[in-house]
Amino acid sequence: MKSEWERLIERFIREGILKSDKVIRAMRLVSRDKFLPENLRGYAAVDTPLRIGYGQTISAPHN
């Protein structure tokens, strides 16, 4: 079963958002959840910026 993160990557490839093999490989190796507070990790594959505290956000994956 594919993870939500992998499905998001595949969608970005199909839509032409991800074209670089190096970027695709990097996204597959390091998912966004590793940079999120624990309470937001379930939203890692949501394609939107997320508030991470201290008045800061983490960018949407497509940026």
Neighbour count for residue 16 (Cβ, 10 Å)? 7
Give the global pTM. 0.88
Report the run of H or E that residue 23 belongs to, with start and end. helix 21-29
| Tens digits of residue pLDDT in 8-63 | 999 999 999 999 999 999 999 999 999 999 999 999 999 999 999 999 999 999 86
Active site residues: 59
